[in-house]
Chain A
């Protein structure tokens, strides 16, 4: 009991999280994936191993030399897949991070001030919310052109709207509590009250949303690349690899299966971690 009292909230959450087998599996997978995507940059040379065309090796099914086979241009799918982890992770984490900063700022302002400011922000969010995600991305990419950076920008809109709503709702429930009033009374500036006293108390739903949204964003990014409006070729993005695989679905089905498994397990790991975090942060909610 003495120990339990001396733990911080973060430690306590982490301890609960470690009891959840699914979340631990998810975490281990994600750590491995990050290590792989970093290592891939040292092991493989982008120009010679990842995008170099080697027609003599084209369309080989999985074998001892090419564990996952080769694609229509003779490139090793195993190497491309490991390297491709970078794109998914960078886009997923990047757009959620940008969306987080924009969304939480807007949501906190809307929730804290209420009234006209709140109305303005929330109505704008509603408009973006009513346009289907994929359409927002389509419009932005056709406006800016296809590139990894533009894809990241396109996807952060959706993340931002979702964070704005969550942050606003949490801030509204907290802003009238006594400790916020106390902070006012001792004369703290508003921004400091929001940043130091209100936001730390809204963290739980935001952390959970971050984990789950990274997963959704990774799927969205690979979907757009699959449609040819995401990461431009010849980059080994998983969705783009599936799009190439689709051309050979009859003669080289392995090309269509492997990159999809990579996407699925990454998102699965994120979902397991997200669900675990939700239970760990709010044990009352656990079902």
Chain B
């Protein structure tokens, strides 16, 4: 098992390198000049050129990229053009907010979707099933940011139950988490339903019932346990989406997360901030994906056995 984890981490490195190089290269092509941005306003052309030389901007892109990645390992991603603050540090101050939102959203989604998925599967082809599926269909068809605005109009402006934005106490987390979570819930419901339908007619389910196991145990211990892999996959995917893609909810609710940081930095043409934040987000996504793969093993002994053999 340990060998497998190490192997996966080794495989992750080229993926991170390729991804970050593409982003670095693309952002480099945007043609922003750090020297001009960092130099004082009254600097002469020679001074800017000198600064360019000092910053190593005249080096070939591979050299600069190498230095950049070395810097990243030490937690140095350069300085923002706009705020003049450390990019890595800024990213790290925003990250906890995004993590908090992502985990709460996925938690909300799971709480709604897994029971609903099981329920619709048990009542397949009845109006209960149809109702659940219509909910899921609307959920995947609705733009996330629009749902957020509707929730603000209803629960914040009219009912005044929750604040409409900015980070405050726990109540400020409710609307953003529900916004992000409902979209995910739709997908998780569909996956849970179809995974449950796959196992629900298996012979071992009948056997369990014949042995006199209670219906609840049949569904949860014999059914759900075997349907878990696709469900965990989709929850894991949603988690890595939430960590990198909740830009929209963050914008609607003025949530001070990483996504908001990236969009704001684009508007201000703050290239080092954009590059750093996007590369860090991708690294984060790789790590989460790996974690999800490893969690499978804990839920499915068959996969664990495979790993150990390969090991």
Interface of A toward B, CB cutoff 8 Å: 123, 126-127, 130-135, 138-140, 142-143, 215, 219, 222-223, 226-229, 239, 242, 245-246, 249-250, 253, 256-257, 260, 263-265, 267-268, 271-272, 275, 287
Q: Mark contacts of B39-63 with chain A using CB atoms, 8 A cut-off: 1 yes-contact digit, 0 otherwise.
A: 0000000000000000000000000
A245, B149: Cβ atoms closer than 8 Å: yes
A222 and B153 CA atoms in complex are apart in Å by: 20
Contacts of A245 in B (CB 8 A): 149
Given the contacts A127-B22, A134-B247, A139-B278, A229 and B143 also touching, CB distance less than 8 Å: no
B269-292: CB near A (< 8 Å → 1, else 0) gives 000001000100110011001000
Among B141, B149, B164, B281, contact of A267 (Cβ-Cβ < 8 Å) = B141
The complex places the Cα of A265 from the Cα of B142 at a distance, in Å, of 8
Question: Which of B22, B29, B141, B153 interacts with A271 by CB under 8 Å?
Answer: B141
Find out whether the CB atom of B15 lies under 8 angstroms from the CB atom of A130. yes
Given A264-B146, A271-B140, CB of A134 within 8 Å of CB of B245: yes
> A227 touching B251 by the CB < 8 A rule?
yes
**Given known contacts A135-B244, A135-B281, A263 and B197 CB-to-CB distance under 8 angstroms:** no
Residue in contact with A263 in the complex, picked from B146, B164, B252, CB distance below 8 Å: B146
Quote the shortest CB–CB distance from A157 to chain B (angstroms). 11
**Which residues from chain B contact A131 at a C-beta distance below 8 Å?**
19, 22-23, 282
Q: How far is the CB of A68 from chain B (nearest CB, A)?
A: 15
Query: Do B141 and A287 touch across chains, with their CB atoms under 8 A apart?
Result: no
| A242 near B149: Cβ-Cβ < 8 Å | yes
Interchain CA distance A239-B27 in the complex, whole Å? 25
User: Are A138 and B278 within 8 A (Cβ)?
Assistant: yes
B159, CB-defined interface residue at 8 Å: no
* B224 adjacent to chain A (CB < 8 Å): no
A222 CA / B30 CA spacing, docked (Å): 24
Interface contact B251-A260, CB-CB below 8 Å:
no
- 8 Å CB contact of A139 from B26, B146, B263, B267: B26
Whether B149 and A260, one on each chain, are in contact in the complex, defined by CB atoms closer than 8 angstroms, is yes
* Given pairs A223-B145, A249-B153, A271-B140, 19 additional interface contacts (CB within 8 A): A130-B285, A130-B289, A132-B285, A134-B245, A135-B262, A139-B23, A143-B26, A219-B143, A226-B143, A226-B248, A227-B247, A227-B251, A242-B149, A249-B152, A249-B164, A256-B153, A264-B143, A267-B141, A272-B137
CB distance from A184 to the nearest CB of B (A): 36
Interface residues of B: mostly helix, strand, loop or mixed? helix
Instruction: Indicate whether B150 reaches chain A with its CB closer than 8 angstroms.
Output: yes
Q: Is B204 interfacial (CB 8 A cutoff)?
A: no
Residue B157 is within 8 A (CB to CB) of chain A in the complex: yes
Q: How far is the CA of A281 from the CA of B137 in the complex (A)?
A: 20
* A263 and B278 contact, Cβ closer than 8 Å, known pairs A139-B23, A143-B29: no
A interface: dominant SS: helix
- Chain A's closest residue to B275 (CB) is A139
- B110-166, CB < 8 A from A: 124, 137-138, 140-146, 149-150, 152-153, 157, 164
For chains A and B in complex, what number of residue pairs have CB atoms within 8 angstroms? 120
How many residues in B have their beta carbons less than 8 Å from beta carbons of A?
A: 45
Q: Which among A127, A130, A246, A263 is the interface contact of B143 at CB below 8 angstroms? A: A263
Cβ contact within 8 Å between B143 and A257: no
User: Can you show 10 pairs from A to B with CB atoms below 8 A apart?
Assistant: A131-B22, A135-B262, A143-B26, A227-B247, A229-B266, A249-B157, A257-B153, A267-B142, A267-B143, A272-B137
- Residue B2 interfacial (CB < 8 Å): no
Q: Which residues of A contact B274 (CB under 8 A)?
A: 138, 142
Within the complex, the shortest CB–CB distance from A217 to chain B, in Å, comes to 12
Contacts of B248 in A (CB 8 A): 223, 226-227
Give Cα distance in the complex from A139 to B22, angstroms.
Answer: 10
Which of A139, A229, A263 interacts with B27 by CB under 8 Å? A139
Closest-CB distance, A23 to chain B (whole angstroms): 12
Given contacts A130-B286, A138-B266, contact A271 B143 (CB under 8 A): no
